[in-house]
Amino acid sequence: WDSWERQPLPSEQARRQSPGDYSERRRSRRSKARDRRRSGLYLPAWSVVAMLMIVFLIAFGIVLLIGSLGGQAAPGGDPRVLIVTAEASNTPAGAAAPPTTVPAALQPVESAAPLPGFDGPVPTFALEGPTLAPVVLSPTPLSVVQGANVIVVDVGDIGLNIRANPGLAADILLSAPENMPFVVIGGPQQVDNLTWWQVQDSFDAAVQGWAAADYLQAVAPSS
């Protein structure tokens, strides 16, 4: 036992150190404790207990309130039955109701031929009313373009001058009569305030020239 040396406790070691170091550490711990108390997150133990008690009392009060509201007894007494009746009109006794007029268009018409197994005429209904005018479909007018079939119109007995070039000063190749067919092969060109198309005879390809568009009408190709 003489060789065993007792180890000093931590508190004894702290006291054996210099008094200045020991007091400095105590002041540091006290300063940290004061900082924790001053911080916004520090709550004393008594305040935590008080908050828990307040929460418990509020929850207990809510439970009592719900129980008191839900435990009300049903209202007593017998139910009352109300019968609502309409007031009688002042119609004189013995007065007949006005006859109901059925339009003639909806009156039943007796059929001449009875149905098999049915004894008596079969009533039918005829509808009357204004009739709509029939819709007349007109064909879409054709336009004079290259490749279109045209005829000569609005020239009467004078005929349409087919010229060698567009313009009123060009040479006249022939005079085409009313309704003469042509095929448009060129144009249009604007000369002398007129639109000119190059046309070709539908039956003779050698006959061709320029004609004013005002006297040409597009037609559907002949089948």
Cβ neighbours, 10 Å, residue 149: 17
Cβ neighbours, 10 Å, residue 208: 19
Instruction: Kindly report whether the global pTM for this prediction surpasses the value 0.95.
Output: no
Top-ranked range on mean pLDDT: pick from 22-31, 126-135, 169-178: 169-178
Q: Compute the average pLDDT of residues 178-201.
A: 94
Q: What is the pLDDT of residues 103-129, one digit of tens each?
A: 665 555 555 555 566 565 555 656 666
> How high is the pLDDT of residue 142?
82
Q: How far apart are CA 138 and CA 29, in angstroms?
A: 110
Strand partners, 55: none
> How high is the pLDDT of residue 2?
46
Question: What value does the mean pLDDT of the chain take?
Answer: 75
Q: What is the DSSP string of 140-157?
A: PPP---TT-EEEE-S-TT
Q: Compute the average pLDDT of residues 187-201.
A: 94
> How high is the pLDDT of residue 103?
60
What is the 8-class DSSP label of residue 171? P
Is the model's pLDDT at 223 over the cut of 70? Answer: no
Cβ neighbours, 10 Å, residue 150: 23
Taking alpha carbons only, the member of 216, 210, 217, 205 closest to residue 162 is 210
Q: How far apart are CA 159 and CA 217, in angstroms?
A: 14
